[in-house]
């Protein structure tokens, strides 16, 4: 867990500044039609934090915990990230990930071994799910901020 926590802490320190450094006209520019803009990707990462925060909390007490997927495209569309100020979405991302980090840091070590069933029926540990959350975060950050 220490590595997962350290990775998330690093991103909390670096991502806001890196995202703010993207030229304003580039934050809402989609690379191709039907693909998310950098601002929408950051919004998607907020949605991911919202959903995973709840999962990380519930998986500590509900065993086995069954993960229910959410409709990512609909969340991004309904949140209308493309139309919102960049700083608002950056601040939302920071706050949500500070909460995720807090849950990770305060989780008793034995709860990291709790079982979580992903939608395809595979069983993983809560610790694995938390590391996968940061992997997912890094994948998308690589799409918007090279070198993060």
Q: Which residues pair with 124 in a beta bridge?
A: 116
pTM: 0.94
Say yes or no to pLDDT of 117 above 70: yes
pLDDT tens-place string over residues 18-68: 999 999 889 999 888 889 999 999 999 999 999 999 999 999 999 999 999
Domain ranges of the chain: 2-144
Q: What topology is assigned to 2-144 in CATH? A: 1.20.120
Measured CA to CA, the distance from residue 59 to residue 78 in angstroms comes to 27
């Amino acid at each position: 867990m220490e590595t997962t926590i350290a990775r998330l802490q690093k991103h909390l320190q670096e991502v806001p500044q890196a995202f703010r450094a993207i030229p304003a006209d580039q934050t809402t520019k989609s690379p191709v039609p039907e693909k998310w803009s950098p601002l929408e990707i950051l919004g998607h990462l907020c949605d991911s934090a919202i959903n995973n925060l709840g999962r990380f909390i519930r998986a500590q007490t509900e065993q086995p915990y069954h993960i229910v997927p959410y409709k990512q495209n609909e969340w991004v569309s309904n949140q209308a990230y493309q139309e919102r100020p960049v700083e608002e979405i950056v601040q939302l991302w920071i706050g949500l990930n500070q909460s995720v980090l807090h849950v990770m840091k305060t989780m008793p070590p034995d709860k990291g071994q709790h079982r979580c069933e992903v939608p395809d029926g595979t069983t993983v540990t809560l610790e694995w799910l938390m590391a996968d959350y940061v992997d997912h975060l890094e994948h998308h950050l690589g799409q918007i901020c090279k070198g993060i």
